[in-house]
Structure 1
Amino acid sequence: MSLQADPTVSFEKYHGTSNDFVIVDADEFVPNRYAFATTYCDREGGVGVDLDIGPDGHIGADGVLFLALEEKYSPPRVIMTLVQPDGSTAAMCGNGARCAAAWAAERTGASEVMVDTQAGTRHATVDGADITIEMGVPSFEPRDVPLARDEPLVDEDVEGLRVTAVNTGVPHAVAFVDDVDDVDLEAVAPPVRHADVFPEGANVNVASVGEDGIRQRTFERGVEGETQSCGTGAVAIVAAAKRLGLVDANEPVTVSPPGGDLEITVPDDAPATLRGPVAHEFAGELARDPSADQ
């Protein structure tokens, strides 16, 4: 069918602890993914603005997931490409990968899914609404983060925050503070996100360690603002806390961003894992090429 005969594309909206994504089957032709993401991720006029999505629905999104499902494999595989609100792509997204696994499981009935990302293939298990995904082994190595230096960056001052740098599929800067609510994240995060020591930029997390777990707030690269949850950030926080001796991450650690609770493990000799709920918000049709109307 020609683009002119079918100007719309089907989509579904999922979120993992309020980290929300537009999902489009990669078999659907979208001629300008940059314009598609920047248009429909907009929090004021993006996806959902013309729908009756209810009081709990989210207008816009934290990204668009273009997913290619390959059912012939066992477990089935889904190839994930994340385009962010600024039109850039991200190699990995923990909550996005969990949403991708839920999407694939809904179509196949599988309880296990392999999610292929630019950061590697991740194994996911599906238990009802709860999705657990392997996140690889966090790395503090300068070449992996990456850093513009030869030594790891652990609990050092960067633009006014005490930062530990770690890659959990994408680069993260983690700062432990007394109370995350006391931090003006929109003010303190951008200088760290763009600091010279991070040649590819970094996501910026502030975290507070308590008796029942860790509270999290994250300023995301590519979103260029705070998100309600960040899975790679939650894993980065626990990895950094373990490195600094603040937690025993061989046991599950509860990390609580504003959007809900996530369960993280960072074992000594196995990949980290991220566990939490995924929900389907709504579905509909979107213009295949929103840039054509501009």
Structure 2
Amino acid sequence: MDIRFSKYTSFGNTFIIVDETRTPLAGDEQRAGFARWALNGDFGIGGTDNVLYLSEATGPADYVFRIFEVDGSETLSCGNGLLCTAAVLRREHGGDQWRVLTELPTGRPRPVQIGAEGDGRRTWVDMGETRPVPAELINRNGPPPADGIDRISGLDVPGVGELGGYLTFSGEPHLALFRGHGLPDELAEKLFIDARGAIGRPDGDDITESVALAHHIGTHVNRAYRDLFPQGVHLNFARVEGRRVEYRTWERAINCETLACGSGTVAMAHVGRELGLLPEGEIEFWPHRCRWYQPGAALTVTSTESGYVVTGQPRLVCVGVVPETSVVPETSVPPDLARVPEPRQPSIR
């Protein structure tokens, strides 16, 4: 059977979405193989972060949401992916609210509510409360913290210095480093650069150096501290101005910085409130790197009785059909990140 797909973007996070209620796949081997092929920029579709698969659910949900990486592995969840899913369901199936199952690889599937407003150009996802990072994703001493935040210090990064952050779980493990709270002011200035003159052509020397710096930090932390974060960790660099947070995100599994991150905004909203940096209510999040291309890019995170609701504006890029014969099964998987020994280990408080 030919595989039909939609391609969506949410602030530069891009997804190939396969609706298995209309194009059922044979199983996880085919899902993994299609993801490896589709996300390959040379032989597949390319230009995309992940492949999302939607299928009908039974029990307490309407649909099952699954997300696969470029190496064919399945990851847990994705805020911007869920925003795009709401747009797909609105366009393909109608309605304005759905309950979807996420986080299947944990063995503890979690239902979340998603919805679309008006013509579906504005969508939302109720991410609920943040939680302590599951035991399989962190080697901590002692029980999980009551406020859901592990304090991480002593992250030594060559050429950068010592960093610290606040680790919580919002469908993915996120380490939030706020300016003045684990992220030194001097380093923040290098990460959050004035790129107004480079909008639409973000390739100047300052931008190149800033991108290399973010990649260096994210890559080193995920390599050097693999014993602490056995399956990797997202890094969120953030600075707060009033009710606005400007941020950048380096993502595990993809092993690079992406233009935006929906689940990361929820983690930052929670940590920011606990640190006294952010008030309750609605907070605007600016994806710094995405705004080099789209100056108005922003989503909102609102604290509610049920937790945190993320609202955004995903966009349909294209729809297409892939002939099944085009997808060549790939059996090779990139090797796991090698651990680089360090003289010191960070502490969890």
Using the size of structure 1 for normalisation, the TM-score is 0.83
For 2:99, the equivalent position in structure 1 comes to: 114
For 1:61, the equivalent position in structure 2 comes to: 48
When residues 229 and 293 of structure 1 are mapped into structure 2, their CA distance, relative to the original with a 3 A threshold, is closer
When residues 149 and 42 of structure 1 are mapped into structure 2, their CA distance, relative to the original with a 3 A threshold, is farther
Query: Larger Rg: 1 or 2?
Result: 2
Matched AA of 2:192: D
Alignment of 1:244-255 (within 5 A): 244-248=275-279, 250-255=280-285
Q: Is 1:156 the counterpart of 2:153 in the alignment?
A: yes
**SS of equivalent to 1:32:** helix
What do residues 178-228 of structure 1 show as CA deviations (whole Å, max 9, x unaligned)?
A: 343365111011232342222332111111112351111111112111111
Cα distance in structure 1, aligned partners of 2:217 and 2:269: 21
Q: Specify every segment of 5 or more residues in structure 1 that has no aligned partner in the other structure, as ranges.
A: 1-5, 48-58
**SS of equivalent to 1:124:** strand
How much is the aligned-residue C-alpha RMSD, in angstroms? 2.6
Cα distance in structure 2, aligned partners of 1:106 and 1:135: 22
When residues 32 and 209 of structure 1 are mapped into structure 2, their CA distance, relative to the original with a 3 A threshold, is same
Alignment of 1:72-221 (within 5 A): 77-118=62-103, 119-127=109-117, 128-140=120-132, 143=135, 146-150=138-142, 152=145, 153-154=150-151, 156-159=153-156, 160-177=162-179, 178-179=188-189, 180-181=191-192, 184-194=213-223, 195=225, 196-211=227-242, 213-221=244-252
Tell me if structure 2 keeps the 8 A contact 1:139–1:145. no
Q: Is 1:285 the counterpart of 2:321 in the alignment?
A: yes
For 2:286, the equivalent position in structure 1 comes to: 256
What do residues 124-173 of structure 1 show as CA deviations (whole Å, max 9, x unaligned)?
A: 12113111101121124664864432264226232332111000011111
**SS of equivalent to 1:169:** coil
Matched AA of 1:29: L
Cα distance in structure 2, aligned partners of 1:13 and 1:108: 17
Cα distance in structure 2, aligned partners of 1:43 and 1:173: 29
Shift of 1:99: 1.1
Tell me if structure 2 keeps the 8 A contact 1:264–1:275. yes
Tell me if structure 2 keeps the 8 A contact 1:9–1:285. yes
Moved over 3 A (4+): 43-46, 140-147
Cα distance in structure 2, aligned partners of 1:288 and 1:174: 41
- Aligned residue pairs total 273
When residues 104 and 203 of structure 1 are mapped into structure 2, their CA distance, relative to the original with a 3 A threshold, is same
Cα distance in structure 1, aligned partners of 2:257 and 2:116: 28
**SS of equivalent to 1:198:** coil
**SS of equivalent to 2:312:** strand
Matched AA of 1:166: T
Q: Comparing 270-279 with 119-128, which one deviates more in the overlay?
A: 119-128
Q: Is 1:28 the counterpart of 2:24 in the alignment?
A: yes
Matched AA of 1:39: W
Cα distance in structure 2, aligned partners of 1:200 and 1:144: 8
**SS of equivalent to 1:222:** coil
Using the size of structure 2 for normalisation, the TM-score is 0.71
Cα distance in structure 1, aligned partners of 2:155 and 2:275: 17
Shift of 1:33: 2.2
Percent of residue pairs identical: 25
What do residues 93-115 of structure 1 show as CA deviations (whole Å, max 9, x unaligned)?
A: 11111111211111222111112
Cα distance in structure 1, aligned partners of 2:127 and 2:260: 16
